[in-house]
Amino acid sequence: MPNLNVAVLGQLDYSNELGKKGTSTEITFFNLKKGEDTVTFIEPTKYPERIASLFYATSITKKAILVVDQINAAFGESVLMLHCTGVKDGLLVLKNFMTPEKVAPLIKGTVVEKYEVVPDDKNMLRERLLEEVNSLKTDLQLVPSSGTVTVDHSFNVKGVGTVILGTVANGVVRKHDSLNVLPGQKIAQVRSIQKHDDDFELAIEGDRVGLALKNIEADGIDRGNVLTNDSSIKTTKDIEGQAELVNYWPAPLKDGMALHLGHWMQFLPAKVAVTKDGGDWKKPVVKLALEKDLVYKTGDRAVITYLAGGKLRVVGTIGL
């Protein structure tokens, strides 16, 4: 039962006619299911007020639908966020007399440049995406034995106990697995796995899951926590790496600058401790001091944002 996560940007509630509305906080999930194939549409409910909402919606997706009915700051910021979170596969829905020629100069040099322009036809979108899901069949013999789940919601269910909602970031998670709850020292056991309200023995990369957990209370786990039995997953409060600033970012990063770092479902305050640009201020080596531990895998990239940036809050990325 494969699943495809799709960020839907540019028009809130566009997904109302694509799937059934589910959990809604800073991001809203809409679920489409046909037989064993499922698509999860994710919208940034609190955007443009909160840039974190836009980050959350794109950070766990492999594909995007970008609805364009006007050229404004939100459109530009959405394009840059999709680029920084690496959502390379997508569809452009042009409305209100927008044309590819009008949009092309504004997306040049970003991942969105490669998106396919499609009609504003929700029936077509549903069928097309379900066909894509069908091509995602996975050979379980090739899946790693360990796995990682990023948590976006947690709560207590009467008679069940602690339940989290999240996405399998990589690998496989199985019923009865013991998973480290990062950051921290807690270990939780998977009591059961649900995908789109059906019970399963395991979940693989890309799956939207509800995990019932043992040995942890609901208030001991929250958005941003990571569940994993992958020994290569690390935590740190100090990041030093090569940054790449977006083309439209106007000035070099400065020591002491207050930023936010986004990775998986984490969105953490960070302060610039050291910058060394080597002659190119758009590609500096940056050291960041975080208020809380960041959970990551070596080789990942995190998104840098600046909440006081006005109409442009997406700064760029940094290697982890």
- CA–CA gap between residue 310 and residue 320 (Å, rounded): 27
Q: Are residues 53 and 130 in the same domain?
A: yes
CATH number of the domain bearing residue 312:
2.40.30.10
Q: Are residues 95 and 213 in the same domain?
A: no
Cα 37 to Cα 99, 156, 200, 246: the distances in Å are 33, 28, 14, 36
Which range marks the domain in which residue 183 is found?
Answer: 140-228
Residue type, 227: L
- What mean pLDDT is reported for the chain? 94
The predicted pLDDT at position 2 comes to 79
Of 78, 113, 134, which residue sits at a domain end?
134
CATH number of the domain bearing residue 94:
3.40.50.300
Q: Are residues 45 and 90 in the same domain?
A: yes
The predicted pLDDT at position 278 comes to 82
The predicted pLDDT at position 63 comes to 97
Q: Are residues 78 and 96 in the same domain?
A: yes
82 neighbors 64 (Cβ within 8 angstroms): yes
The predicted pLDDT at position 35 comes to 87
The predicted pLDDT at position 96 comes to 92
- CA–CA gap between residue 104 and residue 197 (Å, rounded): 41
Residues of the chain with pLDDT under 50: none
Cα 228 to Cα 10, 107, 138, 211: the distances in Å are 33, 36, 20, 13
- The 10s digit of each residue's pLDDT in 7-52 is 999 999 999 999 999 999 999 999 999 988 899 999 999 999 999 9
Write the secondary structure of 285-308 as one string of H (helix), E (strand) and C (coil): EEEEEEEEEEEEECCCEEEEECCC
Q: Are residues 12 and 67 in the same domain?
A: yes
Of 96, 114, 134, which residue sits at a domain end?
134
The predicted pLDDT at position 139 comes to 58
Residues 6+ apart with CB under 8 A from 99: none
Q: Are residues 57 and 114 in the same domain?
A: yes
Of 99, 134, 169, which residue sits at a domain end?
134
Written as six digits, the tokens of 79 are 């394009």
The predicted pLDDT at position 140 comes to 57
Domain count along the chain: 3
The predicted pLDDT at position 136 comes to 77
